[in-house]
Amino acid sequence: MSKIHVTTKINGEETEYLCQPYDTMLDVLRNQLNLTGSKEVCSSGDCGACSVTLNNRLVCSCLMLAAEAEGKEINTIEGMTKNGNFHILQKKFLEHAALQCGICTPGMLVAAKSLLDKNPSPTETEIRFWLAGNLCRCTGYDKIVRAVQAASDEMKEKA
């Protein structure tokens, strides 16, 4: 079976790769492009640890074929810092102790950023339902929700 040639944009940079028709986006990110910040936890779209955005839409990269990225834009956790500075969400996750083991953190941050991009002032309920696709087994979510609220507040102040 011949491989598929894909041209796409990842974290703002033109990227090319060859993939098998059955390779997932997550396979290619982790095993070819060395972008291991996206985690493989369930491979079934139930946990959100592999969350990325595809043309600004939040997706599980384990449920997406790598070939589908052709001509699209992918953003991953590795693209969240800008010019060596934390995104406000990353800063708030650290300040609010919103991570313990950290394995869900990249996906959680990508999902939270996607929420705030669409809805800069989410209620607690909106945050909880948006993040319901991102499992965390360590924190009980309390500090994650508070960190997202704090990021939302600070982003509004700066806006």
Partner 1 sequence: MNEMSNKWIGKNTIRPDGAEKVTGRAEYAADTTMPGMVWGKVLRSPYPHAKIKSINVEKAQSLKGVYSIATSKDCVDFPIDSPVILGIQDMRWMSRNVLAKEKVLFHGHPVAAVAAKTEEIAQKACELIEVDYEVLPWAIEIDDAIKGDAPILHDFIKHNNKSSNIAGTLEHSKGNIEKGFKEADVIIEKNFETAAVHQGYLETHACLVSVAPDDKMVIWSSSQGQFMVRAMTSYITGVPQSNIRAIPAEIGGGFGGKTIVYLEPVAAILSKKSGRPVKMVMTREEVMRASGPTSASKSTVKIGVKNDGKITAAKGIFYLQAGAFPGSPIRGAAGCCLAPYEVPNAHTIGFDVVSNRSKVAAYRAPGAPIGAYAVECVLDELAEAIKMCPLEFRLKNAAKEGTQAVHGPKYPKMGYLETVQAALVHPHYKLPLQKFQGRGVASGFWFNAGGESCAQVNITEDGNVVVTTGHPDIGGSRASIANITAELLGIDVGRVSVLIGDTATIGYSNLTGGSRVLFASAMVVTESTNEVINILKERAAQIWDIDKDAIDWENGEARPAGANAGKFKPLSLAEIADKATPTGGPIGAGHQVNTVGAEGGFATHICDVEVDVELGIARVIRYTAVQDVGKAIHPAYVEGQLQGGVAQGIGWALNEEYIYDNKGHLDNPGFLDYRIPVCSDLPMIDTVLVEVPNPKHPQGVRGVGEVPIVPPLAAIANAIYNALGKRFYSLPMSPPKVLERLEEN
What is the closest distance, in whole angstroms, from the C-beta atom of residue 50 to partner 1 in the complex?
A: 11
- Specify the residue for token string 């959680």: 108
Q: Does 106 bind partner 1 (CB under 8 A)?
A: yes
> Exposure pattern of 64-93 as b/e (b: 16+ CB <10 Å)?
bbbbebeebebbbbbbbeeeeeebbbbebb
Q: Does 96 bind partner 1 (CB under 8 A)?
A: yes
**What one-letter code names the amino acid at 123?**
T
Return the ∠ at Cα 100 (arms to 99 and 105), rounded to 5°.
40
Largest CA distance in the chain: 54
What is the closest distance, in whole angstroms, from the C-beta atom of residue 59 to partner 1 in the complex?
A: 17
End-to-end CA distance of the chain: 51
**Applying CB under 8 A, which of residues 8, 139, 150, 152 lies at the interface with partner 1?**
139
**Applying CB under 8 A, which of residues 141, 153, 154, 155 lies at the interface with partner 1?**
141
Binding to partner 1 (CB under 8 A) within 8-47 occurs at: 30, 35-44, 46-47
**Applying CB under 8 A, which of residues 134, 150, 151, 152 lies at the interface with partner 1?**
134
- Site residues, partner 1 (CB under 8 A): 30, 35-44, 46-47, 49, 76-78, 80-81, 86, 90, 93-97, 99-106, 109, 124-125, 127-129, 131-146
